[in-house]
Amino acid sequence: MGNKKYVPQGTYLACDKGTVPMEFIITNNNNSFLFEEPVANTGDMVPMVNVMPLGVCTITKNACVPAPIMWDGFEDGIFVGFFNPLLEDSVLPCAVGGKIEIYYSLEDATSACAEEGGGFWSTLGKVVLVVAAVALIVVTGGMAIAAIGAIATASGALATGIAVTVAALEVAGCLLTVKALYDYSQDGDEEALFKEVALGFLFLGAGAALAKGARALRGSKFIDDILRKFDPTTATNKQKGNFGEIMSSENLVNNPALKKKGYNLTKIGDPPVSSLDDKIVKGIDGIYENATPPPKFVVDEAKFNTAQLGKTKDGKQMSDAWVKGSKRLENQVGRKKANEIIKAMKNNNVEKVVSRVDETGKVVTSKLDSAGKIIGPWP
C-alpha cells in the first residue's frame, strides 16, 4: 500500500469515456469505517447501485450504461468483510471500453470528464435538448390527432380546410422533431438538434394559433346560429330546454368574466348539446372540471325562463342527494371520475350552480347549497 489512501464515502467516480461524474455509493463496508465514513472495497462495483450512469458515453454516443468488470489496484491481503479495500488509484474497467477512476473532490472529477467528454454543462445542454425534443413529439402528436379529429365535426368547406391545414402543420412539427432526434443519434450535433427542434416548435405554434382562431370563430358562429333559429313564441319544450343548456354551457366555458375569477371550465361526460332539436337526455345538465381550482368541479343545471328545480325520489333536483343518487354521476362521467367528484364534494371542492336563461339567451347564475336551495349569486 505504501502511503496510498483508502476510499471513504463522499468520493466521486469519473470515466475517461463519460461526461458527468457521480458520487461513489459504498454499500459493502461491513461496518468498517474511516473517520466515521464507510470504506469502499472491491464489492462496490454493482451498476445502478454503486456505479451510477456517468453522463454520455463517447464510445456509443448514447447515455452511459455502466458495465463494470472488476476493480484493479486494490490492497491485497486485507479484507473489509469479504472484499479487499480500494485505494486512491484503484481502477474499474468498463466492458464498453472506458476506465472508471476515483476522485476525492467534485472539481477534480469534473475536470477529468471535461478533458474527454465536454464537461457537465455541455452534457446538461444535450440532455435538455433531447428532453425538449421528446416532449415536442408528444405534444405535436396529440395536437395533430385532435386537429384531424376536428375535421369530422367541422361544418363547411372553410372549417374543413382549416382543420386540414392545422393537422398538416402539427404533423410536420412532429416529423421534424423525429428527424432531429434521429440525426442527433447519428452525429451528436446538438446545434443541429436545436435548430430542427426550434423549427418544429414554429410549425407547432402556427398550427396551434390557427386552431385556436378557428375554434373561436366556429364557436361564435354556432351561438349566432342558435340565437337566430330560436323563436321563443313557437319553440317546443325540448327546444327551450336545449336552448337553455347551450347558452348555459357557452357562458360557463367561454365567459371572460368567469375566467378572470379563476373558472377555466371544461365540460366532461356527456357531449354538449349541438342543436335545438337534440334528443333530451335525462340527468345532470353539465359537469365541468376546473383547470385552476378551487373549485375542482362545477355542477350546473340549466333552466329556461321561469322553469324551477323539480322534486324527485332522490330529493330536490341539484341537492347533494340528487347529484349522487341513481348513478347520475357514474352514468355521465364513469365510475372513477364519479368517485373523484363525490370525494371533492365531501371536501367542499364542488360548486353547484343553477343557470337561468331568458328568451334572449342572457344567463344569470346562482349558487346552490347541499339541499339544492339558492343561497345567492354565483360566483
What is 72-104 written as a DSSP string?
BSPPTT--BTTBPBPBTT-EEEBTTS-EEEEES
Same domain flag for 262 and 135: no
> Looking up cell 410536420, which residue turns up?
172
Same domain flag for 19 and 96: yes
Q: What angle do CA 261, 265, 268 make, to 5 degrees?
A: 160
Last residue of a domain, one of 66, 92, 117: 117
- Cis before 295? omega within 30: yes
How many domains is the chain built from?
Answer: 3
Same domain flag for 201 and 256: no
> Which pLDDT score is estimated for 295?
95
Same domain flag for 367 and 251: yes
Question: What distance, in Å, lies between the first and last C-alpha atoms of the chain?
Answer: 78
Q: Cα 339 from chain centroid?
A: 22
Same domain flag for 209 and 322: no
Look up residue 300 and give its amino acid.
D
> Looking up cell 371544461, which residue turns up?
266
What is the dihedral angle through the alpha carbons of 339, 343, 345, 349, rounded to the nearest 10 degrees?
-120
Q: Are the C-beta atoms of residues 244 and 198 closer than 8 Å to each other?
A: no
Same domain flag for 27 and 73: yes
Same domain flag for 53 and 98: yes
Same domain flag for 173 and 112: no
Q: Are the C-beta atoms of residues 302 and 308 closer than 8 Å to each other?
A: no
Last residue of a domain, one of 92, 117, 142: 117
> Which pLDDT score is estimated for 107?
85
Low-confidence stretches of the chain (pLDDT < 50) are 1, 114-125, 137-138, 140-158, 217
Output the nine-digit C-alpha cell for 370. 347541499
C-alpha closest to that of 115 among 11, 17, 12? 17
Q: List the beta bridge partners of residue 87.
A: 6
Residue 79: partners with Cβ closer than 8 Å, 6 or more residues away: 85
Q: Are the C-beta atoms of residues 372 and 366 closer than 8 Å to each other?
A: no
> Looking up cell 477534480, which residue turns up?
108
Give the number of residues written for the chain: 379
Look up residue 118 and give its amino acid.
G
| DSSP string over 282-309 | -S-SEEEEESSPSSSEEEEEEEETT---
For β-strands 99-103 and 91-93, DSSP reports them as: antiparallel
Same domain flag for 225 and 242: no
> What per-residue string of b and e applies to 156-165 under the rule 16 or more CB within 10 Å gives b?
eeebeebbeb
Same domain flag for 72 and 146: no
In terms of pTM, does the model score above 0.75?
no
Q: How far apart are CA 36 and CA 108, in angstroms?
A: 23
Range(s) of the domain holding residue 84: 1-117
**Mean of all residue pLDDT scores within the chain:** 79
Region for 41 from its dihedrals, namely left if φ exceeds 0, alpha if ψ lies in -120 to 50, beta otherwise: beta
Same domain flag for 329 and 263: yes
Same domain flag for 154 and 184: yes
> Which pLDDT score is estimated for 170?
58
